[in-house]
Amino acid sequence: MIRNLHAASLALAATALTGWALTARHARRLAAQARIDPLTGALRRGPFIAAAEEKLRRTDNLAIAVADVDNLKPINDEFGHAAGDLVLAATARRLAEPLSGHLPLVGRLGGDEFAMVYVAPDPHDLRALAGRLREPVDRAGLPALPAGVSFGVATCNRRATCTLARALDVADAAMYQDKNHHRAISRTTSLLARGGRDRHSPGLRRPG
């Protein structure tokens, strides 16, 4: 009888421990889901801002960058939303690659916009990254998807009068300059291909 009670107690304890382990695992999974964007694997906006501010308080020689996927809606319209998701996921993977010997902090601010914190980045490495972001995205057995990403960077040092909000504003402005530059090149190329004239740019003609 005592042996049976002991065995029953052990079984109950094992069941309780298993339930606790499952509950703890479920809690960790929920916590991760609250922090991580499931599509891209990047941090969600809130957790990214908190982690970036902490990094800014503790680390010198940082670069804050903003990246925005160009023409995501036309990609969704022409190839489907799964293709757009593929471009977003590929962009996040490229942004998360080590740069100048350090792993960056990557967050998805929302929609097609990402923000990163890079430690002691080499300017050449940043330019190379900007180039890689514009490489087509491969699809198994299908034509590659066009990937255009506008990219802006602001340097930030905790000893300077620099806040994350200000650095993001500066990087965002640089990103929009980059985006407008690409649009101007794209429009000029399109006009030259048509041999026509844009009513908004009356002085632009095809040479020759």
Q: Which residues are catalytic?
A: 112
Residue 97 sits at the vertex; the CA angle it makes with 106 and 130, to the nearest 5 degrees, is 85
- Amino acid occupying residue 91: T
Are residues 112 and 88 in contact, defined by beta-carbon separation less than 8 angstroms? yes
41 Cβ contact list (under 8 Å, min separation 6) = 89, 92, 93, 96
């902490």: which residue's tokens?
A: 54
49-66 b/e (C-beta count within 10 Å ≥ 16 → b)? beebeebbeeeeebbbbb
